[in-house]
Structure 1
Amino acid sequence: MKWKLTVRYLFSVLSIVFIVVFVNMVLLFGILYYQQTKGNDNFSAETGENFTRQFSRYLSIENGQPVISDEGVQALKTFGGWLQLLDQNGQVVNAALSPEDAPTHYSPVELVHIYKYMDDQLTTYYVGQFKDYSYLVGVPDSPDQRLFFMFNSSKFLSYVSKAFVAITIADLIIAGLVGLLFSSIITRPVSYMINRISQLKERNFSIQKMKRQGIFKPVFSNLNSVSETLQAHEEERMKLEKMREEWISNVSHDLKTPLASIQGFAELLREQDVTESERVDYAEVIERKSIYMKELLDDFNLTMRLRNQEMPLHREDTRLESFVRELIIDVLNDPKYCDTAISFSSDAPDLRWSIDRHLMKRAVLNFINNAIIHNDKDIQITVSVSNSGITIEDDGKGIARHDMDQIFNRYYRGTNTENILGTGLGLAISRDIIKAHGGSIILTSEIGMGTKVEIRIEE
């Protein structure tokens, strides 16, 4: 992949160089051609050659002799030159502004010499034709320079073509070397990014660092951030997948036991020799197991909805002290818990929370019930309300340290919960309810010293 990118980049560079060289050569020859054919009128309107060619308009024939008009004399003054008219024998027949020491006769050789090389006073000469006469225009210290060279057109074209090929090859070689250098620098990180994306596609979320990141440093940083995010999502997905499998396994296991009891006692009810007393006992077992299954399925449905944030909260502004006091009274009015020692205290009578009263009651009751059913009958439970929240504390058996991290996991049962009835979802549901309210739970416990649960919600 890396060499493929390098070759493509290098080919692009060489193509650009070739196009630039070709266009430049075409433009150069086009400008030269245009200047030679039409450019004199546009680019050199004030040159001696152009002035001389156009000067014939100031000449006329009067009485058989060439005459210079006044406009022509003025044009000569403006241009800074002088003029001599020659007949066919090279004799000067008329002049304007010419120096006193100017020749009055020119041989063909002299004309050729002064036209090509100027004279001793560095006067540049230009030659024009007017009917049967010739005329010389002399310009002292002219800014124009005349260069003469001879060339063979076929050889010149051959030389130009060879020069074009040589320049193109040289430019391509230089561009190739430079392009190879820069392409290797640029394509290395690009190739690395492509490989990283392929690794992400293959679910390889490991963090990798490249030594020379250059201008792609933000890209590599973002790729690593994406890797970290995907890694976190993958871990969460695996955790949820494991949890789902555990849920299914535990629910299936928990349902099998009551279903087996229901099936067994239902079969006993069909027996003919069953007494009325036994029939009532069997019916009570079936009813109790059915209620347990209903509670299990309700808890399972609730925890799933809370986990997936599909449980809408019907919040009400609630004074926490009266809310918790009423909840404790309900617990003490339950015949099962009427002998339990539960005390209540509050030092925040005005503390108010915006909560879903039904769900929050379920969460707090789960903690109280958990403290009651997992401890001895002489347990002392204290529920208090303070400005920091709700605290539920007991002096019971406590929770082992290795159970603390998993106590809120669904279906997890601690080492001191053997033979305890329940769905195994109570504390997980409480945790999810508090979390749905934007709160947190602080759990502290020590074996033989009791357990303390603190519920905090930031308003």
Structure 2
Amino acid sequence: MKSVPKLIRRFVGIMLLSSLLLIILNFALLGIYTLNQTPNSSPWITAQEVADHLSKNENKYVLTETTALELQNTNVWAILIDNATMKVVWQTDNLPETVPMAYTAPDIASLTRGYIDGYPTFTGEAENGLVVLGYPKDSFWKHMWPSWDYNFIANLPKTVLSVLAINISLIFIIYVIANSKLLKSVKPIVSGIQALSTNEEIHIREEGLLSELAVNINKTSDILQAQSRQLRKRETARANWIAGVSHDIRTPLSMVMGYAGQLESDVQLSENNRQKAAVIVRQSKRMRDLINDLNLASKLEYNMQPISPERQNLIAVVRQVVVDFINMNIDEKYTIEWETDEELTSCTANVDKDLIKRAVSNLIQNSMNHNEQGCNIFIRVVAEDNVCTIVVADDGVGATDEQIEKLNNTPHYMVCDEKTTEQRHGLGLLIVKQIIFVHSGKMLIKHSEYGGFEVDLSLPMSV
């Protein structure tokens, strides 16, 4: 069940990433908003500029035209408090009537950090006094007592990180609680889907947020089980039918072969009739072999053939097949060459010896059957990367690329020659493939290096 933890990790990752991005976005928006709220970023600097540009000319104070225009445009009033008399000795034309014209030391301290009649005030040092700027009442908020505990400022980073950690933990807890029901519903759904791939019969409780999906999975399981039962019945019937037909044909076929053999050896018959009897015997033997092949292929396909794997030296097994063929006095137009490296004395694998011998025999016979003009057959065993490979190749007519593609990728090998009604490659190769399959091996058909046909049988080596 690796998928559910993976799904949970994905949910948590998305949640944490979303929280982080949300925090960053909030800080960015706060910064942008703060900057936009202070177009005149430093009224203290403006107040000092007014003080610097205010000059006394013949007992009269004069402000430069540019600075006066700036104050007018921002609706800011200004006064100059004399150091000696503590009275207002200069003012702008827009000074409100409620602004006092005389001040005491406490008044100066109050307006420096706060307001005059609700107007936020900012001061600048002039040559003979103190310049005070008054901004509109709703333009600035001033902190009246700007003093902070030192420990609070020193521990502020830790405090901010702690608050963020608490917030993230709270969001995570809320997220897990809110999705716990969903996660509980997901786990059986995932288990059910995994079980469907193995054709197991399943039934998921049809409740929770994903109840509709559970219903559909249960229906799918029921359909697959019904199809599996029907398929098993059909396969069993097919296997039984093949076995029954094979058994029923053997008796009359034996009689045909027996009588035909007698006719073939009867010297009283003409040579022409004896040749006809020989053809009947030869074709009857072929029919018998085809029936045996069909029966074996059916048993291998439905795992009805008993397998007795033992640790065998494949070199010895394959060499025995070659010796048996040579001792059969095969036609002189066929030669079998043993090409296994003499230094390779052992290549062991856990196999059923009789089935492997049958597979190699089928390949040798296949080369003979499809090269009537004769050919050389080359056989070798190769050991490489913990794999034993049996190679059977010839220098005969071979096969086209299209035929080899079909032989490697179709399950039945019923590829027919264009000039004959006989199968060019039939049950022989199918049986070979099935034998290698039950041994957890691989079969590869290709062009041989000698210009003909080649089949490679790869089997895992035993330790």
The alignment's TM-score, normalised by the length of structure 1, stands at 0.47
Of structures 1 and 2, the one with the larger relative CO (CA 8 A, separation 6+) is: 1
Larger radius of gyration: 1
